[in-house]
Structure 1
Amino acid sequence: MSLVERVHAVLGQGGLLASQLRHYRERAVQLEMAAEVAGCLTSSAQPLVLEAGTGVGKTFAYLVPALLSGKQIIISTGSKNLQEQLFFKDLPALLGLLGLDIQVALLKGRSNYLCQWRLARQLEAVGTHQEAVLDDLLKLQQFADNTTDGDLGNLSGVSESSPAIGMINSSRDSCGGQKCAFYEQCFTRKARQRALQARLIVVNHHLFFADRLLKDTGFAELLPDADAVVFDEAHLLPDIAVSYFGSQLSMGRIKRLLDEVDKVYQQQLRDTAQLTAMAGRCRERLSDWQNRLLDKGYNDWRDSLADKEMAAASWALVAELLALEKLVQAHLGRSEMLDVLAPSLTEVRAQLEQFFHCDNPEAAYSVEWGERHLQLRIAAMDVAHQCAELFNDNSRWVFTSATLQVQGSLDFFVRGMGLTKARQVVLSSPFDYPNQALLCVPRHLGHVANQTAMVKRLVDICLKAFTAARGRTFVLFTSHRMLQLVAHGLAGRTPYPMLVQGQGSKQQLLSKFRQLGDAVLLGTGSFWEGVDVRGHSLSCVIIDKLPFASPDDPLFRARAGQCQRQGLDPFTQVSLPQAVIALKQGAGRLIRDERDKGVLIICDNRLVNRDYGRAFLGSLPPMARTRDLDRALAFLADIP
């Protein structure tokens, strides 16, 4: 039988899964998707770009042909959750049902694995650690003695936020490769060796791009040149590609390198006090530069180019790092630790120089303030050419997601990824959206003159929706600022448990939301996608406004400028398609199962009174619509 026929024998009516799984039933769109994937894997040199709406069952639709094909295949996901669901749940279940005995591997990024060499170093310096950190390091030693894979995701008893984790996880900056005393036992090397030998390898998008583009040091090869690559959650690829075809540098990395230089002096080269003195001078220059940057408030580095004080502070930092680099090179061969650090010091100094020169007109240079450290990013405005080269080898390529099209077309994704010769397929969700869901843009929104009025309006709508839905609501925001203002306005005014982003990790909040059954959850970006709450726990999703990118975002500004130079409209070419896909992601949190019912409330009049609102409405699932908030509240109240 052909692969398509074998896939039908598994997924089709009366097939293997129907006979083995009590509640399984054939889905025509799932079969259609599986046939498309099978065709791509066996007979087509064309990449396949396929949108599969929520409920299609796309995971089995690509896993079944992948497993039956006999080929070596990489499955790349956008989130750690999906990566682990595939490896620990879906793959074991399918392998058992199909009666297949093939090797599969889960490969995570380097920082997810324990480094025995770094752990040994930390335990040698026990006198330099605080008691709590030392206690965690001893627990990590016990973990290292008992684990077979060194995956820190399986670690219990040590908080993921413990400083000890950052001291012992595998790091490119501290990897000695084959020269390392722990090379044979190395957990990272073993994980990658398993991946090279496996028939199906599960990775994430970041690791895939790091392997293909950065060519990580320490090991000659990370991933095999597989026969095919399947990208799930492919809507995330354009932004990830922009990151990897550019460059990024965290000030946290520079600080860690300077701390490592201090440790070399303290633990090995006590006769070279100049090492720690120069590292200290670099720290002072870095602190001065960051303080100036904070005072000026630059987030687009091009805005700083005429600032002579900023330029002086920038090049003074580079000069100090260069002096330290030369000193370290003068002592090469005296310390294994220093030998490992030297290339990284050269790399970060070169990255800083590249950023400060700001001489590529086809790139955006941005300063981003993260939760812990400042990041410098150089992002190409257009990565289509680089992607076209990357995806133009002998592998077969499948790109799938529930949110790739804008108004029925995949052109925005296809152009951005350089996939102009791809086969394009859009498969609708099998859910009965007109009866399962109601979209409401409240009529009384009116014009909001200021932020205070906007917050009051949102709070009022939220309180009414919480009451009608008996909790069971997500409120999704486009900014952290608005989230905090609304959370403050709701505090003490609802009888339902209120979970706010920042009170715990994303997974902790979601777990608590499901357990409580009547909670409300307020979140921003990370809660717009990759969140799956089925059943009675979630009946309502409220979105504060259409998710357009900030006009001050350096990458958006650069792309807008490029569009204008080409005689194109930045709004229709860049801003609108991105916002449509983002809104589809947020709306997709509502209906996750054929039995779900719910109301989507979008508190933005532009959806109905601007011409471009049709682009949003034409891309959302075909829910029933109303402007009457009372009708939406009645629909909510009727949901069991």
Structure 2
Amino acid sequence: MSVRLTQQVAAAFSSQGVLAQSIKGFSRRDVQAEMAHAVAESIHSRKKLVVEAGTGVGKTFAYLIPALLSGKKIIISTGSKNLQEQLFYKDLPALSAMLNLTPKVALLKGRNNYLCQHLMEKELSGASSMETQVLDDLLRINQWGGQTTDGDIGGLTAVTENSPALPLIVSSKENCIGQRCDYFDECFTRKARNRAMNAKVTVVNHHLFLADRIIKETGFAELLPDSDVVIFDEAHLLPDIAVTYFGQQCSTRQLSELFDKLIDIYRQELRDAKQIEALSSRCGAILNEWHQMLFELGDSDWRRLLGNKELSVLSWALIKEIKVLQSLLLGHVGRSDNLDDTIVKLELITNKLELFFLCENNQAAYSIDYGHRYLVLRIAPIDVAKECRKLFESDVSWIFTSATLQINRDLSLFTRQLGLTQCQEMLLESPFDYANNALFCVPRHLASVSNHHAALSQFVDVCVKAVNAAKGRTFILFTSHRMLNLVAPALQRRVSYPLLVQGQAGKQSLLKKYRQLGNAVLLGTGAFWEGVDVRGRLLSCVIIDKLPFISPDDNLFRARSESIEREGKDPFSEISLPQAVITLNQGVGRLIRDEKDKGVLILCDNRIVNKPYGQAFLNSLPPMSRTRDLDKATAFLERIK
């Protein structure tokens, strides 16, 4: 099998192979063929493979072709919905046709990406008390729901992606009533799961994969099929996502909704159990009081908040009151299916809440995410390598790839974080001519980034000069929303090109408008640092405000730092620097997306040239020409046609 598969793969990538015959202008890339050969070997030998494939290697085809030719059961996991959809709707159909193969392929997303017909019916039944805009959106979604074949909200264009109606009608584990549902046979989530079970190739995302394999919180047993091969694209995201799934989290919104549901059950089904309403209302009132206190304090670090005696007393009063309610509910078990479901869900979330309040694990960070009205409570382990090692020990071909995995030409940070041992490692350089097609500029005489006023003023000046030279066609990437919000109005007054600012619309809407305008300037934070592909002269310049070091106030970072210090190591070199290098590489990767692309990268942070650690960044970046002269950079931009 190994010889046959590697021969088939080599033939596919040859100058006379199916790619050359099917793709206009195809030229063989040695690095792509090398990666495809390694993937084929990994599939055959069931060994782990870690590949950093620089932009332009063509890693997607390099893993898809061996996977399809192998005939094995494959799961492909991505870090973003965009790539997930590109694989399913574009790359897999195209390659299957080229290779004359007809594998069953399934796209599977998390529950909250599918319309729930039960929730839709429930919401429409209460339409009389609904805001007009929400009702209008619900009616549009309902009309779409009657036409869609898969119920995937990603295909819904009748309402905006931040419509307040969407959270009301998407599938969720908390609201699922399983086989008792009138729509069980038509359930979009169940149908998607069935398609995945019967598919030869299933495309998922990292969140869904880890949820299924680690905590089974997807709502269906064995949501994902067993597979022979698992391929992680955008694998650099895995370590941080794994922290979420090896930890614990709960939303106070779920708790509040359970109290409301118990009151509804009393009013509609158990009118002789008045105490259910009274105790549920009491729990809801204490929860609201607890919410109010936390919002006033505003601290995200639970360990720090534990020092507040008033908050501690109120927290345990909430637990005590919930347990009184639970005792009452147990006396009514069997009287109502809805009540029995709610009792189970209340116990699960109360156990998580109590675990969070106890705060007993010294090897975890306890943090609070503040939403509009509710909170998400997270327990995140400092190190997930041990847990990941168990996950990746199973007899499967595990393949990890990304354009950004190495630090200083070394993949060991990534493999260490995921507990990967005995794996083949590959670093494949981009085939693009960065030396001639890209210029990296760190302007001279920059103020220190810690001098906020001077740095802001200089940054705006640099942006104005570069944007005018590039005739728009620029991404400005920020390390914080605060800086973005300061720069946007200042630029608005000084440049004549259209400005598209993150928050004005959804990510895909902004990118679509950017491409349509042809001379726009896009300002964005984290979401735009990766997973964005704008080719050609449309994007000639990328400007980054400063090196993307994680905030020292981040709870998980602080907990990890303390653990590293206890081991006698340096948190900066072990955590801060590697994460910043990976993130910067992602941002830089937006600039050159094709072999004919030309562009300028401008970084307004002279620490990369003045500090000893700057060399780690420089060693990990593509081999672009460099300058400290902003005039040379603008001249380069003016020559791009």
Task: State the TM-score, normalizing by the size of structure 1.
Answer: 0.96
- The one-character-per-residue Cα deviations of 1:34-68 (angstroms, maximum 9, x if unpaired) are 1111110012x321000000001111111101111
In structure 2, what residue type is equivalent to 1:12?
A: S
Deviation of 1:626 after TM superposition, in Å, equals: 0.6
Rounded Cα–Cα distance in structure 2 between residues aligned with 1:482 and 1:317: 39
Q: Is the 8 A contact 2:161 2:506 kept in 1?
A: no
Rounded Cα–Cα distance in structure 1 between residues aligned with 2:454 and 2:60: 44
Q: Does residue 618 in structure 1 map to residue 619 in structure 2?
A: yes
Q: Determine the structure 1 residue equivalent to 2:24.
A: 22
In structure 1, what residue type is equivalent to 2:466?
A: A
- The one-character-per-residue Cα deviations of 1:98-154 (angstroms, maximum 9, x if unpaired) are 111110100010111122222333344444434444444444443343332222222
Q: Does residue 35 in structure 1 map to residue 72 in structure 2?
A: no
Residue 491 of structure 1 aligns to a residue whose secondary structure is: helix
- Mean Cα deviation higher: 617-626 or 250-259: 250-259
- Mean Cα deviation higher: 184-193 or 210-219: 210-219
Residue 569 of structure 2 aligns to a residue whose secondary structure is: coil
Deviation of 1:371 after TM superposition, in Å, equals: 6.1
Deviation of 1:270 after TM superposition, in Å, equals: 4.7
- Mean Cα deviation higher: 72-81 or 97-106: 97-106
Deviation of 1:180 after TM superposition, in Å, equals: 3.2
Rounded Cα–Cα distance in structure 2 between residues aligned with 1:376 and 1:178: 31
Rounded Cα–Cα distance in structure 2 between residues aligned with 1:267 and 1:212: 38
Q: Is the 8 A contact 1:177 1:219 kept in 2?
A: no
Q: Determine the structure 1 residue equivalent to 2:9.
A: 7
Q: Does residue 289 in structure 1 map to residue 293 in structure 2?
A: no
Q: Determine the structure 2 residue equivalent to 1:183.
A: 184
C-alpha spacing 1:439/1:370, structure 2 compared with 1 (3 Å): farther
Residue 163 of structure 1 aligns to a residue whose secondary structure is: coil
Rounded Cα–Cα distance in structure 1 between residues aligned with 2:452 and 2:271: 59
- Mean Cα deviation higher: 608-617 or 311-320: 311-320
Q: Does residue 518 in structure 1 map to residue 515 in structure 2?
A: no
Deviation of 1:552 after TM superposition, in Å, equals: 1.3
Rounded Cα–Cα distance in structure 1 between residues aligned with 2:450 and 2:34: 50
In structure 1, what residue type is equivalent to 2:462?
A: I
In structure 2, what residue type is equivalent to 1:169?
A: V
Q: Is the 8 A contact 1:469 1:540 kept in 2?
A: yes
- The one-character-per-residue Cα deviations of 1:403-437 (angstroms, maximum 9, x if unpaired) are 00001000000000000221110100000001111
Q: Does residue 363 in structure 1 map to residue 383 in structure 2?
A: no
In structure 1, what residue type is equivalent to 2:40?
A: A
Rounded Cα–Cα distance in structure 2 between residues aligned with 1:553 and 1:223: 33
Rounded Cα–Cα distance in structure 1 between residues aligned with 2:374 and 2:399: 36
Deviation of 1:347 after TM superposition, in Å, equals: 1.4
Count of residues paired in the alignment: 639
Residue 494 of structure 2 aligns to a residue whose secondary structure is: coil
Rounded Cα–Cα distance in structure 1 between residues aligned with 2:374 and 2:309: 24
C-alpha spacing 1:368/1:124, structure 2 compared with 1 (3 Å): closer
Deviation of 1:291 after TM superposition, in Å, equals: 2.4
Q: Does residue 425 in structure 1 map to residue 429 in structure 2?
A: no
**Equivalent residues in 2 for 1:217-616, closer than 5 Å:** 218-370=219-371, 373-447=374-448, 450-616=451-617
**Equivalent residues in 2 for 1:49-198, closer than 5 Å:** 49-198=50-199
Rounded Cα–Cα distance in structure 2 between residues aligned with 1:63 and 1:217: 27
Q: Is the 8 A contact 2:246 2:384 kept in 1?
A: yes
In structure 1, what residue type is equivalent to 2:44?
A: T
In structure 1, what residue type is equivalent to 2:88?
A: F
Deviation of 1:97 after TM superposition, in Å, equals: 1.2
Rounded Cα–Cα distance in structure 2 between residues aligned with 1:176 and 1:416: 38
Q: Is the 8 A contact 1:174 1:341 kept in 2?
A: no
Q: Does residue 638 in structure 1 map to residue 634 in structure 2?
A: no
C-alpha spacing 1:90/1:69, structure 2 compared with 1 (3 Å): same
Residue 489 of structure 2 aligns to a residue whose secondary structure is: helix
In structure 2, what residue type is equivalent to 1:35?
A: H
C-alpha spacing 1:371/1:485, structure 2 compared with 1 (3 Å): farther
Aligned-residue Cα RMSD (Å) equals 1.8
Rounded Cα–Cα distance in structure 1 between residues aligned with 2:447 and 2:169: 55
Deviation of 1:89 after TM superposition, in Å, equals: 0.7
- The one-character-per-residue Cα deviations of 1:290-321 (angstroms, maximum 9, x if unpaired) are 22223333222111222211101211222233
Residue 445 of structure 2 aligns to a residue whose secondary structure is: helix
Deviation of 1:599 after TM superposition, in Å, equals: 0.7
